[in-house]
Structure 1
Amino acid sequence: MKRIGLIVLAAFIGGAASIGAYKFLEPNDAEMSISEKQQVLFANNPLKVSSTGSVDFVQAAAIVSPAVVHIRTTFSSSGSKEGSPLDMMEELFGGGGRRSRAPRAASGSGVILTPDGYIVTNNHVVENSQKVEVVLSDRRKVIAKVIGTDPNTDLALIKVEATDLPIIKIGNSDQVQVGEWVLAVGFPLDLQTTVTAGIVSAKARSIGILARQQQQPTQDEYEEYQRTGKLPSRTNNSIESYIQTDAAINPGNSGGALVNANGELIGINAAIASQSGTNEGYGFAIPINLAKKILEDFKKYGVVKRGYIGVTFVPLDADYAQQLKINDINGLYVNEVMPNGGGAAAGIKKGDIIKKVDGILIYDSPDLQEKIGRMSPGDKVKLTVLRDGQLKDLNVTLKGDKSVNVTKPEVAAKSTGATISQLGATFAPASEAMKTKFGVKSGVLVTGIEKGKVFDSLDVPRGMLILTVNGRAVNSVKDIEDALPTSKNGMTTISGIAENQKFTFSF
């Protein structure tokens, strides 16, 4: 008996010591990445749900629904975009035809990833937003701050000040199979939480939506085109490798969850293919394995640190192979190698056919783009190319985009107010004539916008007259500098006027 008592006592002491050691070594919650938080939360709480083959989605729906939120935005659109049968901005997010500069209200969906309020959604849900409001599953309304946006993948990360929020377990989109049951969860057509079911009908699908959106001119560029007849050319850096599903997706589902039958997040719903603007059986979701890298960059840097091979290529098919007078009809034909890029340094040449990435066969553009899209500058990737009838392995070190500032914006990390440099704009005192024109007594003119900074992400128009910062009237750059630190609860509020339309931005 005494022996049993000693064993129990030893077990108790050992357990207490283990708990104490864990607490002592436990990482600071604020420093943990989204993936690390997910691992801690689900390590000792595995989901016990029916297998993928089950057609009973009751438990999966119950697990997922509380963590899918309704996002409402007030936004000003400065772009000029025409609708199309595959236009996610209009088909998924509502509206149609040419977009107006006047503020509008719209809604979409989002998915809570961490209990402290990090939420993933689509870039086009919060693009140009003046105010982002999140309605939680318990019907609370909270204001969200945009942490980062990426039009190249149509992803965005926002943050609300809340604790103990319900979350979804992140799954593995690489393991998703065609024919597998999936659920789409969101807020379609302004309805409350809605769950629809279907199967995965294709993977690595590219439909050209992001490329077309990147080619659309802004309002300023459209006006310039009307004057000069010239539009600026743009490089297409979009990454499309969608999971295609026949689960019903409609306007408002944008940014919502695509989950497997185990209730694990495998994709972020982003687009539909439709002639009518509503579901016709084809929906598209961004794979979560691609999204994870983008979201971690947002959390850590505020922007995406994307690595590039430094080549342009064309997917091969029978017709294009015939034009090139080559026999291969699978792979990516390299038609240009950028000087000083990672591909050039590794020895890739024009005319090479990329056949494998890290030993995995590739057949189309999305196969390569998604894999590279998960990597960062400095990462190494092994490409297998076909040259002169021989396969050759080349080790490529990815290089970054020098135009991207990868220093983390303090506005995404601190709650003590923004600074002039974080706003990313240049200013000039407003002339008396301009003040008279708008009927105001104070104001500072926005003369330039820096790409990737706060004003750019909020779509503040160049030429806007800033009237107040955190409630204070401003007449000079110094007035703005003095007013910025006075933000309350970490939120900075700026009001202004442009083209006789008043704007208010909070971030």
Structure 2
Amino acid sequence: MKKILTLVLVSALGGILTLSAYKLFLEPEQKLVVTSNNTTPTFLPTNNIGAPLKAYENSDFTTAAENTVNAVVHVKNVSLSGGQMTMQDLFFGRNPQQKQLGTGSGVIVDPSGYIITNNHVIKNSQELSVTLNNNKTYKAEIIGTDSETDIAVLKINADEDLPVVNFGDSDQAKIGEWVLAVGNPFNLTSTVTAGIISAKSRSLDPTGRNAHSFIQTDAAVNPGNSGGALVNTNGELIGINTAITSQTGSYVGYSFAVPSNIARKIYMDILEYGNTQNGVLGITAGVLNSASAEEFGVDDTEGVFVNDVTKKSGAEKAGIKKGDIIKQLDHIEISKFEDLKGYLKTKRPNDVVNVKLLRNDELLTIPVTISKTDIFSVKFMNMEFRDLSTSIKEKYEIPNGVQVSKTNNKYLYSNLGITEGYIITEINNKKIESIQDISKLKEKYGDDFVENLEQLAYINTRLEKKEVIFK
């Protein structure tokens, strides 16, 4: 019994010694923290933003997606293309053709069956059909097209009112705003992708001659999405998906949409007039940056510099002058030429815009009536001409002439090389002073004037003067 008690006491003593050693040498020191109502506050940035919002907490895309997919259609285009020629075809002079199927998307914008899509989706079509999200298919009719903005309007006849996507205000869309792209990529019908608006007023033309004003997004868009809807989280249409930039032909992070304000204006023009009603401000614009600002003798690098003012245009009548810097059109800030062109694409001739401009360090607001394009250019002989600006005449000492801005005249191109930028100074020994002289020739002979062409004098893009006698 004594041995058992002794063993218990030794065990207890060992436990006490072990616990004491741990408390003394091993346990970390505990510090007492005292809170007080008079402590100094922690300073935070005054941006009134709390914890970061996660995407799924910030926006719910389900309602917008459900509403949109029912109004986005699958467009099928059957066109004819040249087939491979055989020896028999060559011998009998036949030109074999084969059917080719192209697909894209479209957006129903009216319950009676009007659809907006891209012009390149329905180009050269022999047969057009539209399939709805409920798998019903209808034949489609082309109501009108506008190749410059790549917008086309189709019509289908259904037995009932169709679901639509309501137009939103693309001018109010913000960079960083969530958007959904809805379409039929790779024939995968009713596909929805999400992204944000990456940029606005984006042009894909490096030359600047055919500047556009696209909305750029990082929502995945692939072949087949063309003509589909770009909508905001309210399900409102803010763009028509049109293009991607890619070295592979598939999406690599950049997609582009025609703003809905432009698409809606084209749509309304086609329904009301049968074609697009384009207008011009009446200026020749100069791009502003550090280099050009120094050349123009100004300090601003944002805005549109007025290089010249077109005679008899709304800009001239309103008093806009060479050297003015346009800063704003109505409520739209103008930092580059694409901003200006994009907003003017939503206007018709005789609309009035308030132009805020900088002149001699003073901000002025001038109302300007949009002019018809025929005061700016005229089409003749499958070419489009515009007046030479005063600055070009002075710089290159050119007394008279009109400039070729566009051409589809294969005869003059193949024989004389006449293309964009050439200046026509004489036609049939008559000096060409302005596009009014071209208009007079058009009134007298019509557009088929080549057969009456006897003499032509012109200046090529190397500023070399040439003259050709045809008869």
Q: Same fold (TM over 0.5)?
A: yes
Contact 1:152 1:239 in 2 (8 A): no
Distance 1:161 1:340 in 2: 45
The residue type equivalent to 1:110 in the other structure is G
> With CA pairs under 8 Å and 6+ residues apart, which has the higher RCO, 1 or 2?
1
Distance 1:311 1:188 in 2: 41
Distance 2:142 2:272 in 1: 13
Aligned equivalent of 2:328, options 345, 349, 356 = 356
The answer for the alignment partner of 1:305 in structure 2 is 277
RMSD of aligned alpha carbons: 2.7
The residue type equivalent to 1:158 in the other structure is L
Q: 1:52 to 1:255 in 2, by over 3 A?
A: farther
CA displacement at 1:76 relative to structure 2: 5.1
Aligned equivalent of 1:198, options 195, 199, 210 = 195
The answer for the alignment partner of 1:65 in structure 2 is 69
The answer for the alignment partner of 2:151 in structure 1 is 155
1:176 and 2:148 correspond: no
Q: Percent identity?
A: 47
Equivalent position SS for 1:278: coil
Contact 1:52 1:262 in 2 (8 A): no
Aligned equivalent of 1:289, options 258, 261, 265 = 261
Contact 2:204 2:211 in 1 (8 A): no
- What is the TM-score normalised by the length of structure 2? 0.61
Contact 1:148 1:158 in 2 (8 A): yes
CA displacement at 1:52 relative to structure 2: 10
Aligned equivalent of 2:289, options 317, 329, 336 = 317
Q: 1:325 to 1:76 in 2, by over 3 A?
A: farther
When Rg is computed on C-alpha atoms for both structures, the one with the higher figure is: 2
The answer for the alignment partner of 2:122 in structure 1 is 126
CA displacement at 1:328 relative to structure 2: 1.4
Equivalent position SS for 1:204: strand
Aligned equivalent of 1:333, options 271, 280, 305 = 305
The answer for the alignment partner of 2:241 in structure 1 is 269
Q: Deviation per CA, 1:174-219: give whole Å up to 9, x if none.
A: 222222211111010122221111111112222228x89xxxxxxx
Distance 2:98 2:363 in 1: 56
Distance 1:337 1:137 in 2: 50
Aligned equivalent of 1:365, options 318, 334, 337 = 337
Aligned equivalent of 1:108, options 104, 109, 116 = 104
Distance 1:108 1:140 in 2: 16
Equivalent position SS for 2:162: coil
Q: 1:345 to 1:240 in 2, by over 3 A?
A: same
The answer for the alignment partner of 1:495 in structure 2 is none
CA displacement at 1:106 relative to structure 2: 0.8
Q: Deviation per CA, 1:44-94: give whole Å up to 9, x if none.
A: xxxxxxx9974432222111111110111123579xxxxxxxxxxxxxxxx
CA displacement at 1:255 relative to structure 2: 0.4
The residue type equivalent to 1:195 in the other structure is V
The answer for the alignment partner of 1:380 in structure 2 is 352
Distance 2:169 2:295 in 1: 39
CA displacement at 1:134 relative to structure 2: 0.9
Residue segments in structure 2 that go unaligned for 5+ positions in a row = 1-54, 83-95, 380-447, 449-471
Equivalent position SS for 1:295: helix
The residue type equivalent to 2:300 in the other structure is D
Q: How does 1:417-432 map to 2 (within 5 A)?
A: none
Distance 1:359 1:133 in 2: 40
Contact 1:315 1:363 in 2 (8 A): no
- How many pairs align? 310
Distance 2:335 2:127 in 1: 42
Distance 1:74 1:203 in 2: 34
The answer for the alignment partner of 2:132 in structure 1 is 136
The residue type equivalent to 1:104 in the other structure is Q
Contact 2:205 2:211 in 1 (8 A): no
The residue type equivalent to 2:63 in the other structure is Q
Contact 1:54 1:261 in 2 (8 A): no
Distance 2:186 2:340 in 1: 35
Residue segments in structure 1 that go unaligned for 5+ positions in a row = 1-50, 79-99, 213-235, 406-461, 463-507
Q: 1:55 to 1:379 in 2, by over 3 A?
A: closer
- What is the TM-score normalised by the length of structure 1? 0.57
- State which drifts further: 163-172 or 264-273: 163-172
Aligned equivalent of 2:185, options 175, 183, 188 = 188
